[in-house]
Structure 1
Amino acid sequence: MKTTVFIAVMVAGIAYAVGVTVLYERCNENKCVSRVSKCQLTGACGCTLDNCTCCVNCTLCLAELWDDCCSCVNMCKPRNMSATDMASYSTIHDLLFNALTEHDKPHPDAHWTVERVTPQEEGVILPGLAGPDNSESRDNSPVESSPSTKPATSTAASANETIVPMDTCTVAYINICLGLKKCEDACEHMGAAKYRWFHTGCCECVGSTCLSYGKKKALCRDCPND
């Protein structure tokens, strides 16, 4: 009997611990509660991803805590999504990324800078266009990856037709140096479809309309690029 009670208590304790861990992975209350409360009281974070009217103001208010605290205001990728949820999530995050990169010169307090990129600058060879410049330094070779499985957007009615981009490719460079995992998280939380991480620590978040992985140059403002 005592053994049974002991096992039951242990199971309950483990379940509680796992629940607490998941909770704090979703929203680090110790780290975020003060800033999140301020942002919610001022109305800076009073919207949702599918109605992204406050997205820019919310990222500016959370500032350097955005990556750690966006889950507290329901603007991070939810866990354990189905395929249907993932498709909806990708659409919503396109809206977030578009909102954050709408202006070529973001708010002075923003922690990113925006670049518009041509297919040539992406290294995409299209019929009728000059080939890409492949003069980048090997020491600056990037790691390229995608937080989502959403393909780059392009149109072609047949194999003989010219492939043309539907929209301008937009990328956002995080101002400061980041590690690879932090770069992935930062781009995910901005709503980017992909990211490019340079070995210098420069992090480039790539929009869903880009045909490849954005610009092949490290242009982070406050991160050494050589």
Structure 2
Amino acid sequence: MSKKSTRVDVACQALRQAIIEQALPPGTKLPEDELGAQFRMSRTLVRAALAQLQSEGLVDAPPRRTATTAKPTLEEAREVFEVRRTLEREVVRLVIARWRPEFGAELEGHVRKEEAARKAGEARVSIRLAGEFHIKLGELAGNSLFRRYLGEVVSRCSLILALYGRPHSADCAVNEHREIVAALRSRNAEAAIELMDHHLGAVEHRALLDQDRDAQFDLGAVLTRYTETAETGNGSKIARLPRRKTRAAK
């Protein structure tokens, strides 16, 4: 991997995780100069990172305007959930068809991480882990395209919940994930699909309009936290310049 591509990857990973964990609310401005200073890279590379996130539906980057985290409409939100339900039903069937005992151990280990985050009161980590449970199912399905598309719609659902949703219920997510794993272990496709439909229905139900989403925050402070995580994952370090305070877009 080249030095340039590593910088773009770190930026994408940090921004993606910050959006998924709802640390960057929908509509947050993402100025190229500030992102360039944060990730220590040129505007050209910043634009490459933003273009990647735009292709995933997480960022709006219109020509000659400052990019922002995406603000999907309610109609777009409904479409995303429709696609997600269809994908996850087929993923459940594929996972059961390929089932091995180690799948259960891997999924249960992930649910334990969700439980630990819930007990620690780490709401944003809990949100991310809840989404990663579904992405892990996509990986176990053994189909790279299902993994890719499911990862994208799960990320978009996190963004939708940040914009429209009621507060995340970690208790419900953990319990429902346990029930899904139990149905998968029994290789009962009908029961597992029914549980998955119920679970996704509950997630979609939380996607109701919430007007209190325009808090002030320090963009640099948020991204510093996520940059450190992304750098660790990529085995690289990127120097950061002093940051200035930024306001969420109204």
Scaled to the shorter chain, the TM-score interval is under 0.3
Which has the larger share of strand? Answer: 1
Under a length normalisation based on structure 1, what TM-score does the superposition of the two structures give? 0.23
Which gives a bigger RCO, structure 1 or 2 (Cα 8 Å, sep 6+)? 2
Which has the larger share of helix? Answer: 2
Under a length normalisation based on structure 2, what TM-score does the superposition of the two structures give? 0.21
Greater Rg, structure 1 or structure 2? 1
